[in-house]
Structure 1
């Protein structure tokens, strides 16, 4: 509070208190909770394991479209190749150990020979260290868990188009909203198309990704989430 006194000698004006209220919004990259280590939405400070979360805001600000680019902000995690159509799919290392069988999507093991895109990913959670107790057989370096984008309660639509070097073009859409008046049934649709080139001869092609998702709130405490993700690629 600020106090304003009387003016002039002998003034009889009483002191008047002025209250200033400042409001604002906090924004940043901090993510307080994670579900990767405990399978529940738990504050990171209560989890006695090393977990690094790359939120959606980081993915948007860096304009990344592939998982290999997204994990560049995570310490101790590197890509080891397999970008195009490796027999073993896209490969990473956590703390020097391979993660060939340790990539998950919403806690479910996932495998893709092609590039893993981030157009339908809300965040990337990296649990460092042995995690076989939670995820079964896995590498000692840790696991990478991809958290999918969930349907929203309010209508949402987003489109993007990118042009890059070597005749690279990319378009993406993100649609979401309720399917009924009570908003107990919601959908989300993410789709992207890439036509890419390279500085090397005969290294070009195209990729198509689509992920439809439907969520049904069966009761206040129970929800059913069904999604399908599909990847198609062609190397020319």
Structure 2
């Protein structure tokens, strides 16, 4: 349960020194921008900037696994679109590769801003920032738990994978495809039980921090807005302004299928 309270020395980057409020503001701005824009180049600009933001967290393995999962989802959607185009040409009208890429650019952008927030912010800082916004308890507690669940879940997967290797089982991508039920028994079942245990630990950690009490929590460290937070906000505004310019400059560019 130590991972629920602090960050190890190897996980510290320049993002860990930022205030949780600035990183949450970046996430909120990215969510609003991805919904507001529908042009390909505007979405691509948001994705490129957010990819640099994610790279600064230096969590290469987790980032690669997340991108592989998104690539698999995109491949499945393209396959479904091809099936629709074959059997129902009218329904598949406008579902080309570029138009299908826009929803995934939105998803990748949000993934790029949520992962650094989850991996570089203490749970105490997230709770303090959410509580300072005067949000109801039923909103800020699930939000904080979901953010903290991401790095904890990644750690659970790593522990299960290492235990499988220690026992002498060699499970690669090819073996998982050839023997899916065997891989499910060795990987998915332990991960499921580890996830249930993690949820219990996060709930106990929340109770130990005094969540749910009427008295206001006293943070161990006060949040300080630094110059780096200001520069992060300025950079975010400039990126959104560039996306707006691209949206205006290329009005005939490909749009999302729902626009």
TM-score category (smaller protein): under 0.3
Q: TM-score, normalised by structure 2?
A: 0.25
Give the structure with the larger strand fraction.
Answer: 1
Q: TM-score, normalised by structure 1?
A: 0.27
Structure with bigger gyration radius: 1
Give the structure with the larger helix fraction.
Answer: 2
Which structure is higher in RCO with an 8 Å CA cutoff and minimum separation 6? 2
